[in-house]
Structure 1
Amino acid sequence: MVTEISLNTICGHTTKIIATKEGKNTHIHIKTTCEKLRKWGTKFDMGTKDLMGGTDTVLARKSAENPLTPTCLVPAAVMNACWLENGMISKNLARGMGKMEIIFDKLE
């Protein structure tokens, strides 16, 4: 199976995350216009232990080596793609939602 997630964010960059589960690994391919994110590498694997988060994970190491802005949604989107591929979030639920949003309700 394959999970694809697209992001259009406030920074103006576009990113697509493609996740494919194979055995105990989830292969991640990131297509992006963001140079900072490209420094992470556009292809990497997430193992089972990486799915629970924490300080000793692929995403934590990538973030430490090549920090993104604190508001970047890509790390959360990578985790969502992995969780979807590993059955930890229902793909039917995600299909029904269609998208997740951050809504700026009031800005004065």
Structure 2
Amino acid sequence: MYQGAAEKSGQFIYSIILEIHRNPELVDIINRPMGMIYAVGQLLGRYQAEGILQQEHFLHAVAGLIGPLIATNMIQGTALGVPIPPIDLQNYVANYLNGRLQP
């Protein structure tokens, strides 16, 4: 879900996120990407409520998950001539979740 959106329109979404505070009229444009973020947050929140994952604010959990993906996509868009291999999303998500398991 996220990776497909990032590949299709990531740079646009990142630009809107950066501009939203200066241009609040852009808020309608960001609703769909934010909906995806909230959906992921709800899923992580469910795992927290079930005692599987450590408790943290759902937006912090989402930021921890997608932050490195956003950074990688932004670097790929600017790293001219530097090949960056694609992220193995299954492995990436497994590592993220394993790092947040309840002790």
Q: TM-score, normalised by structure 1?
A: 0.32
Higher helix share: 2
Q: Which structure carries more strand by proportion?
A: 1
Highest CA radius of gyration, 1 or 2?
A: 2
Q: Structure 2-normalised TM-score?
A: 0.33
Q: Which has the higher contact order (CA 8 A, sep 6+)?
A: 2
